[in-house]
Amino acid sequence: MEKFVLVISLCFILFGCSEEADLKSNSDKELLEANTEKDVPVTEIVIEPTELILHESAYLLDSVMSDITGDGKEEEVLLYISPSPFDEETGEAIWWEDLHLWQLVVKEGERTYPLFNNNSSGILSFWISQDPEKRIILVDESGTQLTVSELKYNEGVFQKDDLVDTGVTHERSSVEW
């Protein structure tokens, strides 16, 4: 299954990328504006628990259990994509739309944290660190742009900090796995 997702991801990068220059979501922009009113550094976004509405065709691409909050209980980290990359009847891979909705969510009991809830023309992936300070590293490959973000849980909220944001890139490695 991992090889299949990797192959689908690589095919999408090769054939499905668009030339859109500014793919930052309105959601992130709104959160940044709200955070400037709270004296939070401009590069850092605070994500509070909220009700998340999943798109009707959301497909659960990945699910991981990990103690992200440090309370000794495992939270559920879920990655959804819409539309589904698979045909419902045959189970075969299909070509995605040019833009699709990615949703990365942490569920802690009744609380839901939407860490990423945006349209993208690329691929979203995440890693969970195992060092003493738990964090999620989020990589958004959106067509011609690459963003690497760090998400840390602190006192009931997640703090998102963009570590790398390339803007529009013109060259990239074409190494195949």
- pTM score over 0.95: no
Distances (CA, A) of 23 to 32, 53, 90, 106: 15, 22, 32, 23
Domain locations in the chain as residue ranges: 2-165
When the pLDDT of each residue in the chain is averaged and rounded to a whole number, the result is: 77
Percent of the chain at pLDDT > 70 equals 72
Average pLDDT along the chain, 177 residues, taken 10 residues at a time: 44 39 45 50 79 85 93 94 84 75 93 92 89 88 87 94 85 69
Report H helices in the chain: 2-16, 26-36
pLDDT digits (tens, 9 = 90+) for 110-120: 899 999 999 88
